[in-house]
Amino acid sequence: MERKAIPAKEKIIFALDFPSPGEAMDWVERLDGLISFYKVGLQLFLAGGWHIVDAILAKGNRVMLDLKFFDIPATVAKAVTALNGRGITFATVHGYEAMLRAAAEAAEDVGILAVTVLTSMNQNDLGSLGIEDTVEELVLKRARQAVEAGCTGVVASAREAAMLRQELGSDFTIVTPGIRPASDERNDQKRIATPGEAVHNGADYLVIGRPISTSADPHQTVEAICMEMEAAMTPPS
């Protein structure tokens, strides 16, 4: 199945990783007309709750609710049920197959994204948890479980996106965090990629925060990111 073409600007999910709803909405206003998809994570949701989500949606935007549900299947299913009808595009879960299946079955109008391996983790981090799989093996194993459980897609590093496309096909969504322009600092991310690399490797959406929010000219940065993605999306002549 061929994946639907997504315009470059619509591929960007801006991470609203801010401590207050006011600061978050300032950025939504600032990026109005340029970005229309926003990630609300734990920090912001705890500060602003549904009010901040509703405020973002009211401006005609889309929301990825990144709360990474992890609990027994019945509890996760109830949590996902509470998201139905709220206008959420994607919600994240982080767990094992039975939990993923419960989340997918409970979802009515929200896409369930299964987190594979956090982009702040590397091989040493997995070893410290007693996990013997390589990062790539674990990502593939968890992504396969997610697809088989009926999830909409996965959250995975762009480094593994090409492998996932090759092994699992195109009929699922890949959202990639850890996106950094070549000149940018890594911060706390370890498995990073540039916007062009992510798109080339098969990512559908790119979660980008600090490269935009710390830029001296956020609009110019977004335009540059879009140009890089468009170049990667254009077939060679």
Where exactly are the structural domains of the chain? 8-232
Neighbouring CB atoms inside 10 A of 50's CB total 12
Task: Report the alpha-carbon angle 44-48-53, nearest 5.
Answer: 85
Given a cut of 90, whether residue 139 has pLDDT beyond it is: no
Give the pLDDT band of residue 126 (cuts 50, 70, 90): low
In the prediction, which pLDDT does 138 show? 83
Q: What is the reported pLDDT for 234?
A: 78
Exactly one of 4, 9, 59, 68 is catalytic; which is it? 68
CB 54 within 8 A of CB 28: no
pLDDT band for 132, please (50, 70, 90 cuts): low
Per-residue confidence band for 136, with pLDDT thresholds at 50, 70 and 90: confident
Please tell me the predicted confidence (pLDDT) of residue 125: 62
* Segment 172-186 mean pLDDT: 78
Q: What is the pLDDT of residue 180?
A: 81
**Would you state the pLDDT for residue 1?**
40
- pLDDT tens readout for residues 39-66: 999 999 999 999 999 999 999 999 999 9
**pLDDT score recorded for residue 131:** 63
Per-residue 3-state assignment (H helix, E strand, C coil) for 128-144: HCCCCCCHHHHHHHHHH
Q: What is the predicted pLDDT for the residue at 172?
A: 96
Q: What is the pLDDT of residue 184?
A: 55
Active-site residue flag, 9: no
Q: Assign domain 8-232 to its CATH architecture.
A: Alpha-Beta Barrel (3.20)
Confidence of residue 188 (pLDDT cuts 50, 70, 90): very low
The β-bridge relationship of strands 62-69 and 12-15 is: unpaired
- Are 164 and 140 contacting, i.e. CB atoms less than 8 angstroms apart? yes
H-type alpha helices, 68-134: 73-81, 97-106, 123-128
Residue 146 has pLDDT above 80, yes or no: yes
pLDDT exceeds 80 at position 124: no
Query: Does the structure show a pLDDT above 60 at 189?
Result: no
